[in-house]
Structure 1
Amino acid sequence: MEEQRTPVAPTGDGPPRRRHGPPGWDRWNDEERGARWPWRSTLLLTAFVLLGSTFAAHAQHGDRVGLDVFARVLLVAGSGLLLWRQRYPVAVAFGTAAVALVYVAAGYPYGPVFLPVAVGCFSAVVAGHRRAAWTAIGLLWAGHLLVSHWLYRWLPPTGDGPPSWMQEVGVATWVVAVVALSELVRVRREQWARERAERAQAARRRADEERLRIARELHDVLAHSISVINVQAGVGLALLDSDPEQARTALTTIKAASKEALGEVRQVLDTLRAPGEAPRTPAPGLDRLPELVEQAARAGLTVDVQGEVPPATAGTDLAAFRIVQEALTNVVRHSGSRHARVRLDHAQGVLRLLIDDDGPATGVDAGGTGNGLAGMRERAAALGGTIEAGPRDDGGFRVLAVLPWKAKEER
């Protein structure tokens, strides 16, 4: 029997707690999951408004109408509307302003009755409803001017007179302060949201770049080693009966190539298991080019190397080695030629790698559209270099890599 999931009901200003009940009983909470019920803050503010208005009534006794049941209902209603300020900020802003205006028009004492208006309009501005909040405050101020300077003759308390214009300036200052504070908080929240989004995007970008780097490393290691193993396995099978000694040599080459591939794959995986730690073995570079030539020779490919390059920085050295490795792997897999040439040259801060074979091309992937060439271009682009790869007019294939070159600093 499938276990029934327990819905979550919000409680107070804190995190929601689980309640037992049938599925869908609190669908309102699922639809408004981003807004919680601010019970605690609303109750505290309601108590403050009631208590403050009571003290204000004693201080203004004889000048304003005393608090009665209707006045207290208005105070509770104005503060209670704040319970919906996160879900319906516009309605709450206008509702609190309307309640405050009715309270003042009824002649009740001034006091913290305007505090719910400030909180409601503050929530509306922070939620992005700036025009609605400004309109609500403006209507309240205009209504207060109308009541206090014209309608006071027909409204309680009896014998009341208009307030001084300095008091109106004070009210206007209060309005401007509320709006300014709300805008400041809104701008700051938007800035925090942008910063969080930028950090998250940067983290995703770094993760994508790391995955791409690992994919390139694994492709270059496995493609080269498996190509050598495939060629030597074919040689071994063909000579197993007629030339057992040559078949043994092929198997030895397969063993050495697989061992080296496992070592390099293990090195790549170590970076995943312990990010940030230094690798146990140094990354391959152009100093291992003789080993690469020897592996190619075991696969039946003769490689002539021209030029020498002093040790470069780790990034350039590794990229250059992988580019040569991938180019020679492509010759083994996709070319009918058993001869290739590698020329290295560096001058004026630029390293040039030229890898040629005489062709002809074999196989459907010989045109230079596979993952290997894409990986070459990505490696070069990451360093600010370029890759040109394509068939030559005489039937061969050429790879030209141009990389920024910087000498390795001596320690």
Structure 2
Amino acid sequence: MAPDLVLRARLWPPRGRAADLALAGGVFLVVAVGSLRSLIGAREEPWPVTVLGWALILAACGALALSRRRPVAVGAFVLAATASYYLTSVYDGPLMLAFVVALYRVAAEGHLQAASALAALIVVGTGIGTLAGNHDVTGVALFMLTGWLVGTVALGWVRHTRLVHAREVERRAATEERLRIARELHDVIGHHISLVNVQSAAALRRLHKDPATGALQAAEALGAIKESSREALRELRATLGVLRQVDEAAPTAPAAGLERLGELVASARLAGLDVRTRTGGAHGALPTEVDLAAYRIVQESLTNVARHAHATTVTVRVDRGPRHVTVEVSDDGRGPGPGGVRGGSGIAGMRARARALGGELTAGLAPGGGFSVRARLPYTNGALPPS
């Protein structure tokens, strides 16, 4: 985009203080054009009264520049200036437009009661003037004025309601995005760091137990630690790159999904677990969000087994049905204590992933001993895996 076009895009439409000044200037221009009759033609009132009328016009229109920050005070001031103008000047100028704009701003900023009170005051005042013998405003005109003011208040309140709703939607979206990012980082980093912790503890235990023969096993564990840390760094860079939304080359590693289940199994075996896999059902690509959720649930379940279960055997079952995929991870350990995993949020995060797709997840002690996590994830986007 050319620099002059960028400058124009920044300057128009005006925003903030510039928008308030533009509003006040525009209203003053319209009112001034409609009030030129008091400056030209035959005189119907003394010049001091005309000067006072123009001072009231300038004050009422100029106050609109502050209507965003002090809507109620500006509305009351414009009402007083407008009433004074019509009581002192014989020229029926369109200064009522300034009050209508101020009334709209009061309602649009969320002050419904104040806007209703200001509208009622102008209607009552005009009605009293009509009853006192002001033949310029008839009953029909008073009725129409009431309708215009009610409509102005209603439009301002509708705008306020829409803005409040938009802010609430934006706040909820930001909260959900923060939770999603936190859950993703927990699953990505927590899995690899947990494996590093388990593998390093195993290497130290073997070296302390038998320094001579345990060196080879410790070297294997160190190699697994190196691989786990490299994978953690790679996934962390990929996640941060997405968050920064920078123009980087497309990732060469495959996306997280059940196609990479073998990698999870291999890393868990390096941590000393006997992992067995059972797959069934249709074959083919799953919907992306379902594939990622299933992968993360298996990943987090294996992490919890390695850290807390004190298990030796883990069974991972994946069953792809015609309308949903079922993932189950069970072990022969003792599972978490009655209070669950202290300080952990893994099961809650997995359950949130399943619910986000319209699925469900259960976790608890298995009937035959050990701990079991079972998730059922429907194909919410309508893409069914090929048979």
Picking from 212, 216, 224, the partner of 1:245 is: 216
**Contact between 1:45 and 1:79, CA under 8 Å: does it hold in 2?**
no
Match of 2:266 among 272, 294, 297: 294
Other structure's SS at 2:37 match:
helix
Say if 2:104 and 2:156, in contact at 8 Å, map to a contact too: no
Q: CA deviation at 1:183?
A: 4.7
What SS class does the counterpart of residue 115 from structure 1 fall into? coil
| Per-residue CA distance 1:74-98 (angstroms, 9 max, x = gap) | 5245435514464342343245324
Whether the 8 Å contact between 1:334 and 1:363 is mirrored in structure 2 is: no
- Given that 1:56 and 1:111 are in contact with CA atoms closer than 8 Å, whether structure 2 keeps it comes out as no
Select which of 223, 229, 245 maps to 1:258: 229
Q: Partners of 2:352 and 2:167 in 1: how far apart?
A: 24
| CA drift at 1:229 | 1.5
> In the alignment, which residue of structure 2 is the partner of 1:53?
38
Aligned to 1:345: 319
- Counterpart AA for 2:374: L
Q: Over residues 324-374 of structure 1, what are the superposed CA-to-partner deviations in whole Å (9 max), with x where a residue is unaligned?
A: 111111111111221111222233412222211122246797558721111
- SS at the partner of 1:341? strand
Q: Which sits farther off after the overlay, 299-308 or 122-131?
A: 122-131
Aligned pair partner of 1:207 in 174, 178, 201: 174
Query: C-alpha distance in 2, partners of 1:278/1:319?
Result: 25
With a CA cutoff of 8 Å and minimum separation of 6, indicate the structure with the bigger relative contact order.
2
Q: Which residues of 2 match residues 151-300 of structure 1 at below 5 A?
A: 168-169=137-138, 172-173=140-141, 175=142, 179-240=146-207, 241-243=211-213, 244-274=215-245, 280=251, 281-300=253-272
Instruction: State yes or no: 1:140 paired with 2:140.
Output: no
Give runs of aligned pairs for residues 88-127 of structure 1, distance below 5 A.
Answer: 88-103=74-89, 110-112=90-92, 114-120=93-99, 122-127=101-106
Offset of residue 126 of structure 1: 4.2
Check the 8 A contact 1:42/1:80 in 2, yes or no. Answer: no
Deviation, 1:230, is 1.6
Once the two structures are TM-superposed, the CA of residue 212 in structure 1 deviates from its matched residue by 2.2
Contact 1:368 1:389 in 2 (8 A): no
Distance 2:342 2:326 in 1: 20
SS of the residue 2:280 aligns to: coil
Residues 336, 115 of structure 1: alpha-carbon distance in 2 compared, 3 angstrom cutoff: same
Contact persistence 2:188–2:235 (CA under 8 A): yes
The 8 Å contact of residues 49 and 88 in structure 2, kept in 1 or not, is answered as: no
Contact in 1 for aligned 2:318/2:327 (Cα 8 Å):
yes
What residue in structure 2 maps to residue 23 of structure 1?
none
Gaps of 5+ in 1: 1-12, 18-33, 59-65, 104-109, 149-162
Runs of 4+ in 1 over 6 A off after TM superposition: 13-17, 34-39, 275-278, 362-365
Structural mapping, 1:285-364, within 5 Å: 285-309=257-281, 310=283, 311-361=285-335
Query: Residue 307 of structure 1 aligns to a residue in which SS?
Result: strand
Amino acid at match of 1:345: D
* Residue 382 (structure 1) aligned with residue 353 (structure 2): no
Aligned CA RMSD, in angstroms, stands at 3.7
Q: Distance in 2 between matches of 1:15 and 1:93?
A: 24
Distance 1:379 1:277, change over 3 A: farther
Question: Separation in 1 of the partners of 2:17 and 2:235?
Answer: 50
Q: Distance in 1 between matches of 2:32 and 2:356?
A: 63
Amino acid at match of 1:286: L
Aligned match of 2:110:
none
3-state SS of 1:306 partner: strand
Matched residue count: 349
Give aligned-pair identity as a percent: 33
Compute the displacement of 1:122 (Å).
Answer: 4.7
Q: Per the alignment, in what secondary structure is the counterpart of residue 242 of structure 1? A: coil
Alpha-carbon distance in structure 2 between the residues aligned to 1:125 and 1:192: 10
| TM-score of the superposed pair, with normalisation by structure 1 | 0.71
Distance in 2 between residues matched to 1:46 and 1:367, nearest whole Å: 71
Deviation sequence 1:186-205 (CA, Å, 0-9, x none)? 44444444444444443433
In the alignment, structure 2 segments of 5+ residues that lack a partner are 1-13, 68-72, 108-114
Distance change (3 Å), C-alpha of 1:42 and 1:274? closer
For 2:22 and 2:329, locate their aligned partners in 1 and report how far apart those are by CA, in whole Å. Answer: 69
CA–CA distance in 2 between the matches of 1:322 and 1:40?
59
